[in-house]
Structure 1
Amino acid sequence: MPLPRLSNFVDGKKTEPLDDGYAELLDPCTGTASALAPVSGPQDVDAAMRSAATAFAQWRRTTPAERQQALLRIADALESRMEEFAEAELLDTGSTAAAGEAPLMVDQLRFFAGTARLLEGSSAGEYSAGHTSYVRREPVGVCAQLAPWNFPLLMAVLKSAPAIAAGNTVVLKPAETTPRSALLFAELAAEFLPPGVLNVVCGAPATGRLMVEHPVPAMVSLTGSVEAGIDVARSAAADLKRVHLELGGKTPVVVFADADLDAATAKIIEGAFGNAGQDCTAATRVLADREIHDELVERLAAAARAVRPGPPADRAAAYGPLNNAAQLERVRGLVERLPEHAEVVVGGKQAGEAGYFFEPTVVSGVRQDDEIIRTEVFGPVVTVQPFATEEEAVRLANGVEQGLASAVWTSDHTRAMRLTGLLDFGTVWVNTHLGFPSEMPHGGFKHSGYGKDLSMYGFEAYTRIKHVMHHVGA
């Protein structure tokens, strides 16, 4: 029986690829092919960009109220059809995360619908004698957006909603292994948006490079690896395109001796193994006060032994597979290359013979210069390091190239306040983990990129500022 074929979504309709044909999508639970997805080439990318450019000429002129209404209707439709979207994502990821993230996605759409009517600027005034000045905040133009495979639908919403709310048009490329939910989202959005406002093209990294290098986009947004971010920034610089990058993380979770260890353990396990650890803010680098280091390792190991990965049909499974064979090999390789001084306390191996499952893993005895401490694992692996003083904890936490998110566990309010200023990360959680309210910015420092998602900061990133001056006489 032939595999089903997916289509790109360009100019308000499904379109067949014009260039390179199709590639197999593999079910990560079994490793077998489940469908064929387009591999978009230059003609496909150009068609999508031209559609977005044509649509921008009119969409930029819509009122904030009109853009708000469109996004609110999309939010309502997504909310009513979430089971369909969760099923589409399940086929690509083997994960039920989309169903759990549904309220967050709908809330983000409704939040950005509201931001469309909250454009801010300096008050008009006579800042030069005989002249009145004011500020216009305008859409940037066509936005090329590159999404990752860990939360496909959530990323499609997170990227497209603020851009569209600000009056831009979008060409979105989902990850090559997870296109289904983004294509379905574009099809749903087309019921409420003019053709060309949201286009989706499928393909490999080469397709994304074509999008970045195309002359039409004024802005490029990527959520992905540090290596991909450097590549995008370099390509975009050749045409001076605006760039927003949300890249990898290496989240430190600093646990002091006075912390609530029951709560800390539960949140670390949830934050480390949820979605198989495929989260750039995953709680996978634990720094433990020496007084409670051994106890915390034992607690984490016991909790890890109590969970297991499995396919969606396994209701008792805590998480699903890694997304693809290359990611499985990456995680396995990082564990297998551990130095002799490190100890795999629990886990450390592929789970089962079929698919890309990996055991929940806890590693102790690691040192700051070890590969597994400095490299994002993006899998269900927790490392634990001891620290003796608050100063050492901060030094170890900050001693990596990434700066996306961090967490502190302590009952000392003064210490918590002190560390939130010292930790060099875009987010600091105190006695919690993985909170992403739509009103608050998300984005990192250093090699974790620049720019913010969510919040008014994320919305304003998709606008440009223009000064207008009128001569009004003496």
Structure 2
Amino acid sequence: MQQQDTAAVLAGEAQSTGGDIAQVGRRLLIDGRLVAADRRFPSINPASGVLLGYAPDAGVTEARAAIAAARRAFDTTAWPTDIELRIRCLGQLHQALLDHADELRELTIAEVGATRALTHGPQLDEPIAIVRYYADLLRTYPMTEDLGEAESRGMRHHRWVEKEAAGVVGAIIAYNYPNQLALAKLSPALAAGCTVVLKGAPDTPLVTLALGELIANHTDIPPGVVNVLSSSDPAVGEALTTSPDVDVITFTGSTATGRRIMAAASDTVKRVFLELGGKSAVILLDDADFTAASMFAAFSMVTHAGQGCALTSRLLVPKTKHDEIVELIAANFAKVRHGDPADPKTLMGPLISERQRDKVDGMVQRAIAAGATLVTGGKKVDPGFFYAPTLLTNVDPNSEIAQEEIFGPVLVVIAFDNDDDAVRIANNSIYGLAGAVFSRDQDRALAVARRIRTGSFSINGGNYFAPDCPFGGFKQSGVGREMGVAGLEEFLERKTFAVPVSEPMSGTAR
């Protein structure tokens, strides 16, 4: 472990609200060393629009050095085979995250725009639990599977399967939940015995670099096993994706970028694991508790200002109950307090950037021009990059606003005739990440849920997001799963062995 006052570093940067704070020491982690880069780029506090700090701007040279370090660590150290070392190091990382949670919390609020309440859930505390989950899973997960004996060509053969690390992992994450995304990739990859090059999102680099500092200063993870980069240069992601020394790419971000990554990785036929976009639907059946369901639909849509791939941004309602439900949603939106995310009373923070806010507003204005009705919202709120919770009705199910991911606090209402019609509309999407349904008849709700082509589904407000629950999508929402046992197995290869058994075959194979 390198000795450095990480708490002071994290706290100093987290408390800064502007100016040049490069002196606090944000650095890349490459081959066990915290290093600077020749260039740097700014990180902006989205709640104020004020400069928060600078991150080292890694280029292709740094990316190649990180890949080489990860390759060397995988090929020449005991990390891939020493399970006890991996359990111990994951435990150290978990403890370091707990010890520095307060500093990480302030930094996450400042850079990501996450509300304080969210950091006690999916923005920080729940991601920290992922590390503990995989450390514990590794103690019991079977790395071998005995297939018994079988007869072939007059001889008996004993067969078994061993599971081993897939190799060097390039992990590229999005800006919206950087702690969750980093730890949901890093933890199972390390548990499997892989080495990792983690690239933070350009909009939220400081949070991910802080994770690298904790690894360097507070764990015995060997040099090169984890490398952490920040960069504004797309060529860095391309270097990871195309390098023959990288065996696995895991990416969270837009479906458009995921398509490009999959294409670029095909030249080296590497394993690609993608967690992409969503346009999930929440269905209120005609016997639902509309008050409770409307509260779920409204407040989940403004969670992190709508910047969540699994959020239910389409609200499907019975035609006969349309106006009643729209009134309830509008009333709930009116209760949403947006503002300083550090204030415990704030319910909704800002969008990540002016660029993202312009994108959201552009989609809303085009929807209105195309015939949608604006019930509430539809406007920018300054200072910072806030956007008012927005409700649109009379939305064409095939329109841009109903088909494309918005990544903002915008909910569109679509009416349906019956259960079959609701299922048809919900499945009318290239995406298949998540969804929800409400009905007082749980069997009816479950029957509808089973017909929706998505990777996760909430019934009457049930929460499926936890370290032991696999998360991922159908269709163009992604390939593979994060978290749970399935998340570990994304980073494992299976090798089958067979040896002849000398004794004569008797009876059937065991």
How would you bin the TM-score normalised by the shorter chain?
over 0.9
For 1:134, the aligned partner's letter is: W
Give the whole-Å Cα distance in 1 for the aligned partners of 2:54 and 2:378: 33
List runs of 5+ in structure 1 lacking aligned partners: none
For 2:450, the aligned partner's letter is: G
Report if the CA contact (8 A) 1:10-1:47 is conserved. Answer: yes
Instruction: Say whether residues 1:17 and 2:42 are aligned partners.
Output: no
Q: What's the offset of the Cα at 1:313?
A: 4.5
> After alignment, is 339-348 or 143-152 more displaced?
339-348
Q: 1:288 aligns with which of 291, 295, 317?
A: 317
Give the whole-Å Cα distance in 2 for the aligned partners of 1:94 and 1:437: 22
Q: What's the offset of the Cα at 1:115?
A: 2.4
Give the whole-Å Cα distance in 1 for the aligned partners of 2:463 and 2:440: 19
Instruction: Say whether residues 1:35 and 2:63 are aligned partners.
Output: no
Report if the CA contact (8 A) 1:85-1:98 is conserved. Answer: no
Instruction: Say whether residues 1:426 and 2:455 are aligned partners.
Output: yes
Classify the secondary structure of the residue corresponding to 2:387.
coil
Q: Report the counterpart of residue 98 of structure 1 in structure 2.
A: 119
Give the whole-Å Cα distance in 2 for the aligned partners of 1:183 and 1:4: 13
Q: 2:381 aligns with which of 328, 343, 351?
A: 351
Moved over 6 A (4+): none
Report if the CA contact (8 A) 2:372-2:393 is conserved. Answer: yes
Q: Report the counterpart of residue 171 of structure 2 in structure 1.
A: 145
Report if the CA contact (8 A) 2:147-2:160 is conserved. Answer: yes
For 1:84, the aligned partner's letter is: E
Give the whole-Å Cα distance in 2 for the aligned partners of 1:124 and 1:94: 51
For 1:24, the aligned partner's letter is: P
Q: Report the counterpart of residue 278 of structure 1 in structure 2.
A: 307
Give the whole-Å Cα distance in 2 for the aligned partners of 1:351 and 1:415: 41
Q: Report the counterpart of residue 196 of structure 2 in structure 1.
A: 170
Give the whole-Å Cα distance in 2 for the aligned partners of 1:240 and 1:136: 22
> After alignment, is 183-192 or 117-126 more displaced?
117-126
Q: Report the counterpart of residue 127 of structure 1 in structure 2.
A: 150
Report if the CA contact (8 A) 1:273-1:380 is conserved. Answer: yes
Distance 1:146 1:64, change over 3 A: same
Instruction: Say whether residues 1:189 and 2:207 are aligned partners.
Output: no
Report if the CA contact (8 A) 2:80-2:165 is conserved. Answer: no
Q: Among all aligned residue pairs of Structure 1 and Structure 2, give the percentage whose two residues are the same amino acid.
A: 33
Deviations 1:54-88 (A, max 9, x none): 22232444432331222122112212221111112
Classify the secondary structure of the residue corresponding to 2:386.
coil
What pairs with 1:302-341 in structure 2 (closer than 5 Å)?
Answer: 302-338=331-367, 339-341=369-371
Distance 1:103 1:315, change over 3 A: closer
Classify the secondary structure of the residue corresponding to 1:259.
coil
- Superposition CA RMSD, Å: 1.7
Q: 1:403 aligns with which of 399, 416, 432?
A: 432
For 1:451, the aligned partner's letter is: G
Report if the CA contact (8 A) 1:224-1:246 is conserved. Answer: yes
Give the whole-Å Cα distance in 1 for the aligned partners of 2:407 and 2:361: 11
Q: Report the counterpart of residue 380 of structure 1 in structure 2.
A: 409
Report if the CA contact (8 A) 1:39-1:207 is conserved. Answer: no
Give the whole-Å Cα distance in 1 for the aligned partners of 2:372 and 2:61: 51
Give the whole-Å Cα distance in 1 for the aligned partners of 2:79 and 2:101: 29
Give the whole-Å Cα distance in 2 for the aligned partners of 1:206 and 1:115: 36
Report if the CA contact (8 A) 1:281-1:434 is conserved. Answer: no
List runs of 5+ in structure 2 lacking aligned partners: 1-18, 504-510
Give the whole-Å Cα distance in 2 for the aligned partners of 1:300 and 1:429: 19
For 1:230, the aligned partner's letter is: R
For 2:27, the aligned partner's letter is: S
Give the whole-Å Cα distance in 2 for the aligned partners of 1:146 and 1:64: 25
Classify the secondary structure of the residue corresponding to 1:196.
coil
Q: Report the counterpart of residue 78 of structure 1 in structure 2.
A: 97
Q: Report the counterpart of residue 67 of structure 1 in structure 2.
A: 86
Report if the CA contact (8 A) 1:59-1:169 is conserved. Answer: no
Classify the secondary structure of the residue corresponding to 2:22.
coil
Give the whole-Å Cα distance in 2 for the aligned partners of 1:86 and 1:375: 32
Give the whole-Å Cα distance in 1 for the aligned partners of 2:145 and 2:426: 39
Q: 1:156 aligns with which of 168, 172, 182?
A: 182
Report if the CA contact (8 A) 1:163-1:170 is conserved. Answer: yes
Q: Report the counterpart of residue 228 of structure 2 in structure 1.
A: 200
For 1:98, the aligned partner's letter is: T
Instruction: Say whether residues 1:468 and 2:491 are aligned partners.
Output: no
Give the whole-Å Cα distance in 2 for the aligned partners of 1:313 and 1:72: 29
What pairs with 1:384-395 in structure 2 (closer than 5 Å)?
Answer: 384-395=413-424
Deviations 1:192-217 (A, max 9, x none): 21122111011133321111112211
Distance 1:386 1:240, change over 3 A: same
Distance 1:119 1:28, change over 3 A: same
Q: What's the offset of the Cα at 1:130?
A: 3.3
Deviations 1:202-234 (A, max 9, x none): 113332111111221100000100011001100
Classify the secondary structure of the residue corresponding to 2:381.
coil
What pairs with 1:208-223 in structure 2 (closer than 5 Å)?
Answer: 208-223=237-252
Q: What's the offset of the Cα at 1:3?
A: 4.2
Distance 1:434 1:125, change over 3 A: closer
Give the whole-Å Cα distance in 1 for the aligned partners of 2:104 and 2:446: 41
Classify the secondary structure of the residue corresponding to 1:310.
coil
For 2:40, the aligned partner's letter is: Y
Report if the CA contact (8 A) 1:250-1:285 is conserved. Answer: yes
Q: Report the counterpart of residue 440 of structure 1 in structure 2.
A: 469
Give the whole-Å Cα distance in 2 for the aligned partners of 1:246 and 1:432: 23
Deviations 1:386-427 (A, max 9, x none): 111111100000001100001111112231221122101011
For 2:73, the aligned partner's letter is: A
For 2:72, the aligned partner's letter is: T
Q: Report the counterpart of residue 134 of structure 2 in structure 1.
A: 112
Report if the CA contact (8 A) 1:59-1:167 is conserved. Answer: no
Report if the CA contact (8 A) 2:174-2:181 is conserved. Answer: yes
Q: What's the offset of the Cα at 1:330?
A: 0.8
Provide TM-score, normalisation by structure 1.
0.95
Q: What's the offset of the Cα at 1:30?
A: 2.4
Q: What's the offset of the Cα at 1:119?
A: 2.8
